[in-house]
Amino acid sequence: MRDNGLSRREREKLRHRNEMLKVALELFSEKGYHNVSMHEVAGRAEFAIGTLYKFFKNKEDLYRSLMLTLAESYHQLLVEALNSDGGVLIRLKNYVDAKAKVFTDNVSMVRLYFAETRGASFNIKAGLDSELREVYENSLQLLASTFETGIREGVFRKMDPYYLAVALDGLTNAFLFCWLEDPEGHSYEKNAPVILDGFLHGVLSQ
């Protein structure tokens, strides 16, 4: 019973669990939730099927655990960006960049996130979705409150801050999709400043 409260046994167990999650992420993001069997996950993780079921009570539980972990770490980075030092414009830039970083650093996570998140409410049982959606909604709310600050400071026009958040989120997502489909052709990192510029100044010439 050493270390940070975890015995060697427990640490090993956690390693095994993480190994399974890692493999599950790989497979799910390669082939989608419904095209991956528990046997496949167990096989690739080099555990027996029963062992997998010792760790996750069923397939959905495995998927939920995976998605929540990912969504939370994803959310965490966005929170940090939005709470960073500097004015609202700098914080927004950090937000866009953080999103870029999360995406480019971890393509398979992103693929899975979008593939099953956008359509998930109709594909997968509702329980998961509400938890996930909550994390997502939190990000949006925090972004909205940043806009609210900006409006109070007179930086932004008086518009509904929540919708501003929706707009910026939608914009970044759109460009991230572009990048996902053709990473060479559409560099998100190159586009990020352009996105923000267009968003801030509009697209009209005058």
Partner DNA sequence: ATAAATTGTGACGAAGGGTTCATTAAATGG
Partner DNA sequence: CCATTTAATGAACCCTTCGTCACAATTTAT
Give the one residue of 58, 159, 183, 189 binding its own copies; rule: CB under 8 A. 159
- In this structure, are residues 81 and 97 in contact, taking their beta carbons and an 8 Å threshold? yes
Contact between 54 and DNA by CB under 7 A: the answer reads yes
C-alpha closest to that of 112 among 23, 18, 25: 25
Contact between 123 and DNA by CB under 7 A: the answer reads no
Stretch that binds its own copies, among 10-18, 57-65, 72-80, 191-199 (CB under 8 A): 191-199
Contact between 204 and its own copies by CB under 8 A: the answer reads yes
Q: How far apart are CA 147 and CA 164, in angstroms?
A: 7
Give the one residue of 32, 55, 138, 187 binding its own copies; rule: CB under 8 A. 32
Residue identified by tokens 């190994």 is 19
Contact between 11 and DNA by CB under 7 A: the answer reads no
Select the binding partner of residue 203 from DNA, its own copies, none (C-beta < 5 to 8 A, by kind): its own copies
Q: How far apart are CA 21 and CA 27, in angstroms?
A: 10
Contact between 39 and DNA by CB under 7 A: the answer reads yes
Integer angstrom CA distances of residue 106 from 25, 65, 103: 11, 18, 5
Q: How far apart are CA 71 and CA 74, in angstroms?
A: 5
| 58 φ, ψ (degrees, to nearest 5) | -165, -175
Select the binding partner of residue 36 from DNA, its own copies, none (C-beta < 5 to 8 A, by kind): DNA
- In this structure, are residues 18 and 1 in contact, taking their beta carbons and an 8 Å threshold? no
Binding residues for its own copies, rule: CB under 8 A, are: 29-35, 111-112, 114-116, 118-119, 121-124, 154-160, 163-164, 166-167, 169-171, 173-175, 177-178, 191, 194-195, 198-205
Residues that bind DNA (CB under 7 A): 1, 7-10, 12-13, 16, 35-40, 46-51, 53-54, 57-60
